[in-house]
Structure 1
Amino acid sequence: MLKQFENHLSHQFPFLEGKKLLLAVSGGLDSMVLVHLFQQLGYEIVVLHCNFQLRGLESFGDQQFIQEYTSQNGISFSFTQFDTEAFAKDYKLSTQLAARELRYSWFYEQLEIQKGDYILTAHHADDNLETFLINLSRGTGLDGLTGIPALNDIVIRPLLPFTRQEIEEYATQNKLVWREDSSNASDKYLRNKIRHHLIPVLKELNPNFMNSFEKTQAYLQESQELVDDATIMVYQQVAKEKGDDIYFDINQLLKLPNYTSYLYQWLKEFDFTAWEDIYDLVTNQSGKYVFAPQFRLIKDRDYLILSPLKLATDMQEFLIESSESKVNFPLNMLFYNVTEISDTSNSAIFVDQDKLQFPLVLRRWNEGDVFQPFGMGGRSKKVSKLFKDEKLSLIDKENVWLLCSESQVVWIVGIRQDERFKIDSKTKKILKIAIE
């Protein structure tokens, strides 16, 4: 196995040569074999161990075992201890999810502290099969069937081609010692039930089952690559990016025979879960939306618009004093005196400074806001009516700011100035207000 492992590294991960590798080690069979293999090949390694304190003295026994092994073999060692059950309770997570969250957060932290290059875990072929069956039992798309990725950013799983049987045979031949996790014997967890009861039956039915499964995974991964290519090409036809927002053209979507599949591929990375609601948006009325933790997908006329959720600061009011010549947040705005009007674009207005009451207020618009549009002879108009006339999208409306003097609108920023603050024959000071 050592030679096979060396060949695997040279073909799949040649970039590991000369790098500092951080190995996640539990003390069990798989991780101890991982350590031994890299020892034999002369790589620079650091062993990382998490004590989740879930098995009482047994957990501390694992920690001590690894500490003694690394000390005897001259290997750098770093460990941490977590109150996993308290973390799971505080964040309303299962124990397994809590442990994963804690583990990987600490791994990334150690990567910086240790000045390491990659994190390596001991996942192997049987782990891959178990994950496949778990996802299959819960219902999943192609993503859930393509297996554990061998390379995910800076996390590498170099044992994935090797079965548990091969790993155990290597450990026995090299007289390795490891710790047995007592929880692995329990059928409390779904993974253990599959490992103890389902997989043995599959291997009994087909002695070459692991080889067959490996071929199936390869075919599925090839299919996933085709899907990814098609997703990118169709995205270029259907989607348009505007700043932080993405506009999906519904008319183009409906020309696709399976537009729901494309929506899933495009939106899954934004952590949406209510897929049926998302698919229904296409034919729903404008204004309907679906939330993800940090994003929103909204139906607006002929588009589905994906946008980040607004920060709390977007709902605040910002005061601008008369002494300020430049504002950097939430908009970049300039305030300075001029002697004549030189620019009539939507990005700047010219007002009679003496008509303003400072501090000015910069805020989001409200449904009942009214102003007097410049050039309309003092007639009032609802801000919302202007938006309708201008055919602003729901997203555009949400991004509008009002510059106000006391309760009166001075400028719907970037769109329309108010008549009441215009320059006239009595004006002594002309103030130019511009957005960069």
Structure 2
Amino acid sequence: MIQKFTAHINQNFPFLKDKKLLIAISGGLDSVVLYQQLATLHFDISLAHCNFNLRGKESDLDAEFVNNLSQKTSNQIFIKSFDTQKYSKENKLSTQIAARELRYSWFQELAEKHHFDFIITAHHADDNLETFLINLTRGTGLEGFTGIPKINGNIVRPLLPFSREEILKYAKENNISWREDASNASTKYTRNKIRHQVVPILKEVNPSLLSSFEKTLENLQESQQILTDSIDKVSSEIMETKNAITKINIDKIQQLSNSKAYLYQLLKKFGFTEWNDVYDLLSAQSGKQVFSETHRLLKDRDFLMLTKKTNVISNVVEKSLIQENQSKITNPVQLTFEQTQEKSTENKQTIYVDKDLLKYPLLIRKWQNGDYLYPSKMQGKKKLSKFFKDAKFSLLEKENTWLLCNANNEIIWVINHRQDRRFSIKPSTKSTLKITTL
């Protein structure tokens, strides 16, 4: 196996040479063999072991085993103990998912702190097949059938082409010791049930199951790439991102052959789960919205507007006071205030006002129903709601618009949009204040 493994590494993972590697080692067969293989090839390796405290004394013996192993080979080792059951309950996760989150989070912390280039895990061909079957039972899209990725960011899995049988044979032939996890024989967990009750039957039907499965994965991965290319093309045609707001053109997406499928592919990475509600937004009234844990999707006339929850600003009145002697503010918006003698060209980021007309403290606030202004270059006054409508503001744009107001709440400036002419400088103006957004 070492010759086959060496050829595999040289062909598919040449970038691992001369890199600093962190091997995830449980003490089980797969991780110990992976460690021995990479050590034989003289890679720069350290070990990381998670004690999940799920099997009492056995968990402690696993940690002791890998610690002794590292001492024999003088490799650096990191061992961390987790209260997995507590984390599982607090976060309402299954034990296996909780352990996975704890494991990978810690590995990434180690990689960042100690400058490891890659994290190496011991997933193999049988793991890949089991993951495929688990996804099949739970229901998934095409991406759930493309297998465990060989490379995912800084995580690398060199053993994926090798079967558990090959790894076991190699360990026995080379007198390699490992820790056997008794819980692997239990059918309590879904993966073990599939491993012990489903896969053996499939291998009886097709003794070359893993080889056939590898070819199937290659075909599915190629299909996934075609789908990705198509989604990228559609995304560039119907989606536009500006100022942390992504707009999806409803008319264009409805012209696609299967708008629901495209909508799923475009938005799945943002954590939405209620897909019927997402799809219904296409024909809903403006103002309807759907939330994921991290994002909001809002129907606004001809567009779906996608924002992070952290970028959603409430329409509740928020105030920030500006005193007369201030030259700059940074929150909730960035403004500078400068007395000047000359007026240069105005733009949306700069206004000039008659300072003698200002009443301090000035206010920065959100708009309210009933607000009105006297727009520059226009006659009469105008309700701010009408101004927004005529300027075709989206609901999100209205939510994210700030007003600069006098102490008596009169609007001086719809910031970055329109100045109120009541405060504009005139020939009689004695003191001019230049206000600029940064």
- 1:125/1:367 Cα in 2 relative to 1: closer, same or farther (>3 Å)? farther
Aligned-partner residue type, residue 5 of structure 2:
F
| Aligned-partner Cα distance in 2 for 1:368–1:92 | 46
Q: Structure 1 vs Structure 2: percent identity of aligned residues?
A: 49
Q: Which residue of 2 aligns with 1:98?
A: 98
Match of 2:323 in 1: 321
- Deviation sequence 1:376-412 (CA, Å, 0-9, x none): 6664x33222111211111221221111122222211
Cα distance in 2 for partners of 1:9, 1:367 equals 66
TM-score (norm 2): 0.94
Q: What do the CA deviations read for 1:75-112 (whole angstroms, capped 9, x no partner)?
A: 21111111111122222222222211111111111113
1:266 is aligned with what amino acid?
Answer: L
Moved more, 343-352 or 419-428: 419-428
CA contact under 8 A between 1:377 and 1:419: conserved in structure 2?
no
Once the two structures are superposed, what CA deviation does each residue of 1:112-144 show, in whole Å capped at 9, x if it has no partner? 333211000011111111111111111100010
The answer on 1:334 being equivalent to 2:362 is: no
User: Aligned pair 1:361/2:401, yes or no?
Assistant: no
**Whole-Å separation in 1 of the counterparts to 2:434 and 2:41:** 70
Cα deviations across residues 240-285 of structure 1 (Å, max 9, x unaligned)?
2223222222222122102222222221222222222222222222
Distance 1:377 1:280 in 2: 42
Secondary structure, in 3 states, of the residue corresponding to 2:55? coil
Shift of residue 207, structure 1, vs aligned partner:
0.8
TM-score (norm 1): 0.95
Q: How many Å apart are 1:317 and its aligned residue? A: 2.8
- Which residue is equivalent to 1:151? 151
TM-fit CA distance, 1:311: 4.9
What amino acid is aligned across from residue 347 of structure 2 in structure 1?
A: S
When the two chains are superposed, the root-mean-square deviation of aligned CA atoms in Å is: 1.9
Corresponding residue for residue 69 of structure 1? 69
Q: Distance in 1 between matches of 2:403 and 2:307?
A: 21
Work out the CA distance in 2 between the residues paired with 1:421 and 1:16: 66
Shift of 1:10: 1.0
Q: SS of the counterpart of 1:282? A: helix
Partner of 2:406: 405
Tell whether 2:382 aligns with 1:385.
no
SS in 2 for 1:297: strand
Any conservation in 2 of the 1:119–1:155 contact (CA below 8 Å)? Answer: yes
Which deviates more from structure 2 when the two are superposed, residues 107-116 or residues 20-29?
A: 107-116
Q: Which whole-Å deviations, capped at 9, do the CAs of 1:315-349 have from their partners, x for residues lacking one?
A: 74322222222333333322112234433333322
Q: In 2, distance between residues paired with 1:55 and 1:310? A: 40
**Within 1, Cα distance between the matches of 2:368 and 2:167?**
65
* Alpha-carbon offset, residue 420 of structure 1: 3.6
2:416 to 414, 417, 429: 414
Please identify, of 324-333 and 183-192, the stretch whose mean Cα deviation from structure 2 is larger.
324-333
Equivalent residue, structure 2, for 1:396: 397
* Residue in 2 that maps onto 1:164: 164
Is the CA contact 1:143–1:224 (under 8 Å) kept in the aligned structure 2? yes
Aligned to 2:56: 56
Q: How many angstroms apart in 2 are the aligned matches of 1:311 and 1:360?
A: 25
2:383 aligned partner, one-letter code: K
Q: Which residue in 2 is equivalent to 1:257?
A: 257
Shift of 1:313: 7.9
Q: For 2:177, what is the secondary structure of its paired residue?
A: coil
C-alpha separation between the residues in 2 aligned to 1:121 and 1:210?
Answer: 20
Separation in 1, partners of 2:352, 2:117: 56
- Aligned partner of 2:375: which letter? P
Q: Supply the distance in 2 between the matched residues of 1:38 and 1:362 (Cα, whole angstroms).
A: 61
CA contact (8 A) 2:321 2:362 kept: yes
Q: Equivalents in 2 of 1:42, 1:142: separation in Å? A: 38
CA distance 1:319–1:234, change in 2 (3 Å): same
Structure 2 partner of 1:82? 82
Moved more, 276-285 or 420-429: 420-429
Distance 1:169 1:182 in 2: 20
Look up the equivalent residue of 1:142 and give its one-letter code: L
**Aligned residues of 2:337 and 2:436 also touching (Cα < 8 A):** yes
Report if aligned partners of 2:51, 2:60 keep a CA contact under 8 Å in 1.
Answer: yes
> Is the contact made by 2:360 and 2:406 (CA closer than 8 Å) also made in structure 1?
yes
Q: Secondary structure at 1:358's aligned position in 2?
A: coil
Against the structure 1 CA distance between its residues 182 and 234, is the aligned structure 2 distance closer, same or farther, given a 3 Å change threshold? same
Cα distance in structure 1, aligned partners of 2:320 and 2:183: 56
Q: Which moved more, 1:266-275 or 1:39-48?
A: 266-275
Supply the AA of the counterpart residue of 2:418: R
Q: Report the CA distance shift for 1:174/1:366 in structure 2 as closer, same or farther (over 3 A).
A: farther
Counterpart-to-counterpart distance in 2, 1:355 and 1:344? 19
- Residue 343 (structure 1) aligned to one of 342, 345, 353: 345
Larger displacement relative to structure 2 (418-427 or 128-137): 418-427
Residues 191, 368 of structure 1: CA spacing in aligned structure 2 closer, same or farther, 3 A cutoff? farther
Give the C-alpha shift of residue 425 in structure 1: 5.8
- Alignment check: 8 A CA contact 2:313 2:399 kept: no
**Aligned counterpart, 2:113:** 113
In terms of mean alpha carbon deviation, does 295-304 or 53-62 score higher? 295-304
Give the corresponding residue for 1:269: 269
Report the CA distance shift for 1:346/1:116 in structure 2 as closer, same or farther (over 3 A).
closer
Most deviating of 21-30 and 412-421 = 412-421
Note closer, same or farther for the CA distance 1:193–1:125 as it changes in structure 2 (3 Å cut).
same
Q: How far does residue 312 in structure 1 lie from its aligned partner after superposition?
A: 8.0
Q: Which amino acid aligns with 1:148?
A: I
Query: CA contact under 8 A between 2:23 and 2:35: conserved in structure 1?
Result: yes
Please tell me the residue identity of whatever aligns with 2:415. Answer: V
Question: Structure 1 CA distance, aligned partners of 2:13 and 2:182?
Answer: 34
What does residue 278 of structure 1 align with?
A: 278
Secondary structure of 2:338 counterpart: strand
Alignment gaps of 5+ in structure 2:
none
